Copies of this chain bind each other. A is one copy, B any other.
Amino acid sequence: MRTIAIDAMGGENAPKAIVQAVLQAKAELTQTKFILFGDLNKIKNLVGNDTDRVEIVATTQVINDEDEPVKAIRAKKDSSLVVAAQYVKQGKADALLSLSNTGAILACGIFIIGRISGVARPGLMPTLPVKNSDNGFNMIDVGANAKSKPEYILDWAKMASYYAEKVRGIKNPKVALLNNGAESDKGDELHQKAYKLLLDSQLNFIGNIEGNELLDGKADIVATDGFTGNAVLKNIEGTASVLIHLLKNSLLNNGFFVKLGAGLIKGALKKLVSKFDVDKYGGAVLLGVNAPIVKTHGRSGKRAIYYTIKQVDKILSEKIIADFKAEFTHHK
């Protein structure tokens, strides 16, 4: 039996959407147990009689987006997130899922659950959309680290490649390095050295990728330093959201015929918007810590959370953490 610790108080739709998603996933994932952390009465009401394989742990505090991450996990020791992380640390749960403050989730991963020995730094990895397929690509690190070293980037690429193969079912995944040009000598010292490490590795390294090519689907995994990865990830979200906003505005403010046209293309537009809806691709995984820690967007509704629970369960069923431990502890 696998056990997933679920922070039921994070995000805009907590705890309702979270509990509903758990109940839906539970019906399907018959080998999995769920522990919900948060407001006992509220959660109890939402769970109702469906209590099989569901445990509730009452907590009294909540970490907000405004909280300073490291301070918050120290000050709010009875928060749903911190208690859930403690359960994972103590072996009472196998994985952690939260919709809360990204920084606080990272801090729980690094300071409470702890990194895998041999992995220099954990990396945060979302799945992002690509142009011509529904598969998407993984980018790592997108901001768990402000400062990166070439060896970190190699570790992230290794873990991401293994993840893509096992969890996403991509054979021999193509790994690229985000850089400022195609040639092997491009970039600063960090990226030149990372290039060499990736080239000398056993990975299916296809070379550098530039910022304009990310969504083209050339690579299954884009390895990047955490600072650039963070800027680029946020920029994809920002650019897509501004474009969609401008498109909607221009469809509403250009007279009757444009409005009529807009009505006719509504369905096609919705599909497009959903492609750039990060929720669809599941949560971002913190790779390199002693248990799967998955963060999904605070805006996520029941459906997105349900898919993320299935993603966490798949990570557990593939036992990739045990493999990471063997790989990294062994080699270093």
Number of copies: 2
Q: How many residues of A contact B (CB 8 A)?
A: 59
Q: A264-B264, A276-B243 are in contact. Are A211 and B230 (CB under 8 A)?
A: yes
Inter-chain contact A265/B251, CB cutoff 8 Å: yes
On chain B, the residues within 8 Å of A240 by CB distance are 239, 243
Among residues of B, the one whose C-beta sits closest to the C-beta of A148 is B188
Tell me the smallest distance from the CB of A61 to a CB of chain B, in Å: 22
Asked whether A91 is an interface residue with its Cβ less than 8 Å from the other chain, the reply is: no
Measured in the bound complex, the distance between the Cα atoms of B257 and A236 in whole Å is 31
Partner of A216, one of B68, B143, B242: B242
Measured in the bound complex, the distance between the Cα atoms of B241 and A156 in whole Å is 29
Tell me the smallest distance from the CB of A90 to a CB of chain B, in Å: 31
Partner of A272, one of B180, B214, B226, B243: B243
Q: A143-B180, A211-B231 are in contact. Are A254 and B267 (CB under 8 A)?
A: yes
Asked whether A237 is an interface residue with its Cβ less than 8 Å from the other chain, the reply is: yes
Complex interface bits, A18-46 against B, C-beta within 8 A gives 1, otherwise 0: 00000000000000000000000000000
Inter-chain contact A257/B251, CB cutoff 8 Å: no
Asked whether A58 is an interface residue with its Cβ less than 8 Å from the other chain, the reply is: no
Q: A146-B188, A243-B240, A247-B247 are in contact. Are A180 and B231 (CB under 8 A)?
A: yes
Among residues of B, the one whose C-beta sits closest to the C-beta of A142 is B180
Contact residues, A86-135 vs B (CB, 8 A)? 131
Asked whether A250 is an interface residue with its Cβ less than 8 Å from the other chain, the reply is: yes
Inter-chain contact B271/A250, CB cutoff 8 Å: yes
Among residues of B, the one whose C-beta sits closest to the C-beta of A241 is B212
